[in-house]
Structure 1
């Protein structure tokens, strides 16, 4: 190696080292600044500064009662047909519902008032766990939390199936006296229950760790932070406190369902597929499930076995744009009886615009 080449190599190495040291110095200098900023953000959350309005209909249910915290977002405050149908079903099962949203239009407010559905209007921050945090802290500070016998954390990222009573939703609502019950679990980045539907019993919501979790939760993060500190963090703290986690459709079982003869038979019966077509679809399911289950997202990678097992919710993004190139749930959703009510899709989906020339 020539002198000039050695000089360039040494220069690059020194520059790399200087940039690294500069970044480390900047991080050390900014650490106390960021810590103070986070403290201010957390203090503002605790003072409910993100909460703009609470409409609570008093005397709607005798205490104690189960309560749904429903994280919702729709432009213009529209309450979608599918979400109204889900809320009506929950009310029929004896649950109170508190909608956590950024806005509700006049039509939605009238519909909620007629059915004694509560709502909380808040600033859009922290995704679903930020909404849950505002909801729980508001209940505590308004003296409403003590009347709750259990809490169902629910978000609107999923489309409810047409036949909710015939799905696993009744088992989710029944819950467990000791365990947190979810629809699905995942080992991605650490074992946890997926948080789009979680039934938390009274033994959990009366515990010190539950109160501490929401009091200290950094509810301003983006998607990665919410998954890490919210979805995974909640499961981790529950396990550390001795509360079991129970998934109604565990990923370890879903992964084996696709290879069973019963799965093939149900594909043929539900969808009217020929045996050959059903076998091709089964092969596609097995191909998608070939990776280690610890790396899989069952609501996406195993959606067909999940739906045939009776899961009541279908992830919105699978129907809208399917960014992960998973199997399309509509391959089985419009069989007999249909899993999806087509009318629900009209105002629920927000598909991307494609095919237009500038």
Structure 2
């Protein structure tokens, strides 16, 4: 949130109390929780549009959250909606965007059951919760997917992947997991089976919801903390692509072929391989969607995190080959990604 110029002298005070950006900024988090308590647990949804699907009697639903500065429904988002629908999901699209032009909404309506526009309080998790409250018969649900638009894809059909997420093996599934701070399923994709949806602690979570407008609070309590809360409620959580095998296979390959000293690789590439092995040897967590994005895609993982291309947070060399990696295993139209990057990317050539 940008302050007007005449309020510049008050910036230090503003950031001290409302600029919740660090995981340990407990005072701003507490203030944000207090403000959220004033709003209560009411939905932030301002407007809805019925789509071509139906929610009547829906047993398998996906809540897809999106944000765009101008409320645009990009082609990559349409492909995502279609992919979820083809996998047998009734799709609720929830937009946290500041604008929501009806001509943009109209693009999505033939492919989803409902399109909702809400005030962006509570970020993605607030939208997840408000989206599930739009399901007319919660008790009829066999499964519910929470997913956001922080990824490009799906590069593979989602149906076979969803079939791997068996309720007999876990109550809540993620695609990937992280050990950052503590072990948790990564929150860009979470599937709740019926046992989890009907769990008393989970229902209590939805009913006692607060739309806390603090990114650090959400990271601590929900992105990282939710898996622990679910586990304490007696639910089993599991990832389709677990972290430890990824790291083990990577390090074994680097050492077997001595890739860290392979002269045909650029120096920065060799240095990154050494750094990753160093992190693995010291038990330092790596974000699998950043460090192993290409290995995951080749292994059938259906997505690529957008920030890998928009920010390249780990300095991955030869990232310009991303489209070749996708095309080697998928018929996905990578021009949809290029078009979106043209619209949003700054100071980067992808």
Instruction: Specify the alignment match of 1:207 in structure 2.
Output: 199
Comparing 104-113 with 179-188, greater Cα deviation is found at: 104-113
* Post-superposition offset of 1:107: 3.2
Instruction: Specify the alignment match of 2:37 in structure 1.
Output: 42
Instruction: Specify the alignment match of 2:212 in structure 1.
Output: 220
- The superposition leaves residues 271-307 of structure 1 with CA deviations (integer Å, 9 ceiling, x where unpaired) of xxx9945999687445324214442211112223222
How high is the TM-score relative to the length of structure 2?
0.76
Larger Rg: 1
Instruction: Specify the alignment match of 1:337 in structure 2.
Output: 328
Q: Which of 143, 151, 154 is the matching residue for 1:158?
A: 151
State whether residues 55 and 113 of structure 2, in contact with CA within 8 Å, keep that contact through their aligned partners in structure 1.
no
Structure 1 gap segments, 5+ residues each? 1-22, 24-30, 266-273
**How far apart in 2 are the matches of 1:241 and 1:258?**
34
**How far apart in 2 are the matches of 1:251 and 1:59?**
36
- The superposition leaves residues 72-115 of structure 1 with CA deviations (integer Å, 9 ceiling, x where unpaired) of 00122211111111111211221011111134433332233323
**How far apart in 1 are the matches of 2:36 and 2:141?**
28
* Post-superposition offset of 1:255: 0.5
Structure 2 gap segments, 5+ residues each? 1-15, 17-25
Other structure's SS at 2:147 match: strand
Other structure's SS at 2:142 match: strand
Q: Note closer, same or farther for the CA distance 1:35–1:183 as it changes in structure 2 (3 Å cut).
A: closer
Other structure's SS at 1:189 match: coil
Q: Note closer, same or farther for the CA distance 1:263–1:150 as it changes in structure 2 (3 Å cut).
A: farther
Matched, 1:295 2:277: no
State whether residues 69 and 152 of structure 1, in contact with CA within 8 Å, keep that contact through their aligned partners in structure 2.
yes
Matched, 1:184 2:176: yes
State whether residues 268 and 317 of structure 2, in contact with CA within 8 Å, keep that contact through their aligned partners in structure 1.
no
State whether residues 255 and 293 of structure 1, in contact with CA within 8 Å, keep that contact through their aligned partners in structure 2.
no
Instruction: Specify the alignment match of 1:81 in structure 2.
Output: 75
Matched, 1:229 2:224: no
**How far apart in 2 are the matches of 1:182 and 1:63?**
25
Instruction: Specify the alignment match of 1:255 in structure 2.
Output: 247
How high is the TM-score relative to the length of structure 1?
0.74
Instruction: Specify the alignment match of 1:316 in structure 2.
Output: 306
Instruction: Specify the alignment match of 2:93 in structure 1.
Output: 99
**How far apart in 2 are the matches of 1:63 and 1:261?**
49
Matched, 1:114 2:105: no
- The superposition leaves residues 156-207 of structure 1 with CA deviations (integer Å, 9 ceiling, x where unpaired) of 111115x322xx7632365221421111111111110001111110111111
Q: Note closer, same or farther for the CA distance 1:58–1:300 as it changes in structure 2 (3 Å cut).
A: closer
Comparing 144-153 with 334-343, greater Cα deviation is found at: 334-343
Q: Note closer, same or farther for the CA distance 1:329–1:87 as it changes in structure 2 (3 Å cut).
A: farther
State whether residues 51 and 110 of structure 2, in contact with CA within 8 Å, keep that contact through their aligned partners in structure 1.
no
Matched, 1:147 2:140: yes
**How far apart in 1 are the matches of 2:48 and 2:36?**
21
State whether residues 151 and 199 of structure 1, in contact with CA within 8 Å, keep that contact through their aligned partners in structure 2.
yes
